Amino acid sequence: MNKVNSPIAAFILISILLFFFSCKHEPDDLKPDDPNNPGDTTDLIACDPDTAYFQNEVLPILQSSCALSGCHDNITAEHDLNLLTYASIMNSGHVNAGNASESEIYEAITDPDPDDRMPPPPLLPLSSDQIATIRDWINQGARNNYCDAECDTANFTFASAIKPMIDQSCKGCHNSALANGGVRLDTYEFIAAVANDGRLLGTISHAGGYTPMPFNGNKLDDCKITQVRKWIEAGSQNN
Ligand code: HEC
């Protein structure tokens, strides 16, 4: 009797396993659902210049200036604070949605005493624009919001496309005070050097043999990677 049943039992078991694994899918945490239309990720949400966006603006600042290894990353989580995801930031209790001046994160980045201010030296302090973005985002309700920023692959000059991307996503970890991996990205000359030796495109496109950048962060969107590739192909000029 077992001779008849065991192949059938094996078939059923394999079918169950296949069914289970085929249902597994990766969560999409880069593009959160439109809050007005839960479940639908196909809507394009145009960026409103008066709104601060967590996914587009706040998270890149935190990733490049605060969630460094040894600080507020997912492994060290200094003060129990992991600044790499929306959920961990909100669950930490350091953001009081709607009230920046009573949020510990905002207090820490604006502390008048340089010894207490975050990020601590030798890291560079946040710029006034970055501080304003975080303040507006908290005052506007600290939502996990995202917008579809216009990115034009036909625009690939250093001043209008490359430098703003690097300032936002890379400079916090690659500057005169903190040159991770021996790499600085705070002047045209330093950026052109890693562009010309292949490491700029290799790291951001996650090519084999390069450490994926931004370190610990979300991959840049395809449009930004295309802009970098075209700028390099046209000679990595200071244009
Ligand atoms: C959170 C900090 C952080 C951010 C943000 C970051 N990097 Fe890095 N980067 C590092 C660290 C750490 C290393 C050294 C990694 C290693 O050697 O494995 C590194 C190394 C590199 C290297 C040398 C890699 C190699 O394979 O030789 C390049 C080039 C680089 N980063 C470019 C970038 C660019 C471009 C961005 C922005 C798109 C960026 N990084 C954002 C932390 C960061």
Ligand 1 neighbour 183 (Cβ under 6 A): yes
Average pLDDT over residues 31-38: 44
Query: Residue 128 CB: number of other CB atoms within 10 A?
Result: 9
Q: Is the pLDDT of residue 21 over 50?
A: no
> What is the tens place of the pLDDT at every residue in 98-120?
999 999 999 999 999 888 888 88
Ligand 1 neighbour 133 (Cβ under 6 A): no
- Phi then psi for residue 97, to 5 deg, are -55, 130
187 touches 206 (CB < 8 A): no
Ligand 1 neighbour 203 (Cβ under 6 A): yes
Residue 73 Cα: closest atom of ligand 1? 1
Query: Residue 194 CB: number of other CB atoms within 10 A?
Result: 20
Q: How far apart are CA 34 and CA 46, in angstroms?
A: 12
pLDDT computed for residue 1 by the predictor: 45
Q: Using the mean position of ligand 1's atoms as its centre, give its distance from the Cα of residue 211 in Å.
A: 7
177-180-183-184 Cα dihedral, nearest 10 degrees: -30
Q: Using the mean position of ligand 1's atoms as its centre, give its distance from the Cα of residue 82 in Å.
A: 20
Q: How far apart are CA 87 and CA 84, in angstroms?
A: 9
What is the pLDDT confidence band of residue 62, given thresholds at 50, 70 and 90?
Answer: confident
Q: Using the mean position of ligand 1's atoms as its centre, give its distance from the Cα of residue 214 in Å.
A: 6
Nearest-5° angle of CA 178, CA 180, CA 182? 100
Lowest mean pLDDT among 73-77, 107-111, 138-142, 190-194: 73-77
Length of the chain, in residues = 239
Ligand 1 neighbour 180 (Cβ under 6 A): yes
pLDDT computed for residue 154 by the predictor: 95
Residue 211 Cα: closest atom of ligand 1? 26
Q: Using the mean position of ligand 1's atoms as its centre, give its distance from the Cα of residue 39 in Å.
A: 34
Residue 172 Cα: closest atom of ligand 1? 5
| Better-predicted residue by pLDDT, 36 or 216 | 216
Q: How far apart are CA 59 and CA 166, in angstroms?
A: 14
Backbone CA torsion sign across 53, 179, 155, 204: negative
| Better-predicted residue by pLDDT, 74 or 232 | 232
Ligand 1 neighbour 196 (Cβ under 6 A): no
Q: Using the mean position of ligand 1's atoms as its centre, give its distance from the Cα of residue 5 in Å.
A: 57
Across all residues in the chain, what is the average pLDDT?
Answer: 83
